[in-house]
Structures are given as structure tokens and as C-alpha cells.
Structure 1
């Protein structure tokens, strides 16, 4: 029988995307920090529009995003509650029922990048409260590796480079925490 081990804390990451990302991010950043603590890393602006038109009717065109890391580590079991809270924040920023900002939470562990989703699919595990989790990238042989079902933006080297920077930051925080 395997021995139960203490669960390691992980690094909360939220992908924030919108049209007019600089303006929208300035608006939502204080709300995110009030809810989840101080931000310790914000990626450069990443193109999102080239991957899908799914959000254009609701959110507009020329969608761009930023990957945001939070200083405080979280327990992975908090992911469902965090996704519910980010959905509420999206509604708070909606105009006439249409989202103007999208907040996709997940976390980085030294072995993986995990995303939360309200949508069930064969590759997602139900984690409670109507929320599923998906291993989006695995860290193997010194690099993040996408899987067959990984969203196209997270397969892009530009996104992987930013997530790798956050992973390196996480490893430093993890080392301090478990010292």
C-alpha cells in the first residue's frame, strides 16, 4: 500500500485576455490582487486572437492576454473555488451581459501546468462545484510539453516561455516555503 504524502502547494496562474488588454488589465488587476494576493509576475502581451474566433462576438476582436502569477502559493484543491470566483469577476466586468474580460485560472506545479474549466471533456477530471481540471502541459526532460488535447495557444513557444519563467519563480518560492 502506498503511503499518503502531504500535498505540495502550487503557483496560481491566471490567463487574462480581452480586447484592449492594457486598459482592461489595469481595471481588473486591483480586483485580482484583493482576491488572490499580490502579483509577482506579469507576462508580456500575448496574441490570442490568432488561435480562435470563439470569443469575438462576445468580447470583440484583436484579443490579447497576459499570464499572471501570484506570490502566495495555494493548495491545488482550491482551484474549483478560484474558478468560481474568477467567473464572478468576469460577470462584474461584463457590459450588457457580454464579458469584456476572460479569466482562466490554473496552477503550476514543478511537473505540470493545470487549467480549470467549466466544460467537461474526456481529458478533464471533475474537481467539484461544477469545475473540471485539465493537465495542459507536462514538464518532461527539462521543458513543458503539450499534449494532444492542449489548447493551441498553450502549444505556442511564446506561451511556454512565459510559463517556464513562472515555473522558475515557483521553484524559488517552493524552496523557501519548504526550507
Structure 2
């Protein structure tokens, strides 16, 4: 029989899709207030090269980037974090239209997990209306595409960000032991 243990420490990150600098700066400040210092920020890329899913709600010019936080979290905190980021998105909205999308997730040595409110065949229920998705897995020296991996998460920009954040996570975990 396996032994029940506490949740692992993981590296929190947020994938951000935004329509403007003003809301981006305000959101980043709010994220730092809540989760502490940002240790990595990816390059900014054009999100519309991957999808136009958010265009009706957020506009035609959308930028995508990722940030990770220096302070590690426990994996079982992600549901509360997703609820908080949804509330933050709402606070920046213009009526029913969001100006920013903040999707939290976490990095483990082997996986990238995204938190979502949407159920699907490859997602598992976590708690409080939040599901978890293994978005990509780490093998040998990079992240592997899965059948449901979002295209932007398979971009070189995402790979560079995720590899840097994973390397720091490994160092942080080693320092904890």
C-alpha cells in the first residue's frame, strides 16, 4: 500500500493573453502583490498566430506571454489560485468583455499542469469547480506535445520559458532538501 503524503511543491506560472499595456501592467502588479516576485517573463508573442478564439471578446490584436513566480506553491493550492485569477480578470473587464486572460498553472519536474473551469475527457476534477490538465510532459531535454496541447504552448517562446522555469524549480527543490 502506498503512503499518503502532502502535496508536492511546484512552480506557479501564469499564461497571459492581453489586449493592451495598461491592463497588463496593472495585472502584473496585482499578481506580484498576491504571489510574490516574478522570476521569469517570456518574450511577448502574437497570440492570433495560434488562435482567434478570444478575438470576439478581447479584440483582434492579442499578445501572449508567460510569467513564473520565485516562491514555490503546493500543488493543491491551484484551485484557489484559479478562482482568484478569474476574479482578477473580472475586475479588469469592460462589462462582459475581458481585457486580459490569466491562466494559472504549475510546473513539476515532469509536467506542466493548467487549471481550468472547463471539463473535458483529458482533464480531472480538482476542487471548487476547477479541473487540472496535463498540458505537456517533459522527456529527455524538452517538452512533448500531447494530442490536446495548445499550439502556443508548443511554440519556441513557451518552450524557452518552460525550460528556464523548470531548471530553476529543480534547483529550488534541491535547495529545500
**TM-score, normalised via structure 2 length:** 0.94
Structure 2 gaps, min length 5: none
Counterpart of 1:50? 49
In 2, the alpha carbon distance for the partners of 1:47 and 1:159 equals: 12
Please show how residues 62-73 of structure 1 align to structure 2 within 5 Å. Answer: 62-73=61-72
Counterpart of 1:15? 15
Please show how residues 86-97 of structure 1 align to structure 2 within 5 Å. Answer: 86-97=85-96
In 1, the alpha carbon distance for the partners of 2:76 and 2:70 equals: 18
In 2, the alpha carbon distance for the partners of 1:126 and 1:88 equals: 20
In 1, the alpha carbon distance for the partners of 2:66 and 2:99 equals: 17
Q: CA RMSD in A?
A: 1.3
Counterpart of 1:31? 30
Counterpart of 2:128? 129
Structure 1 gaps, min length 5: none
Count of residue correspondences: 177
Counterpart of 1:152? 151
**TM-score, normalised via structure 1 length:** 0.93
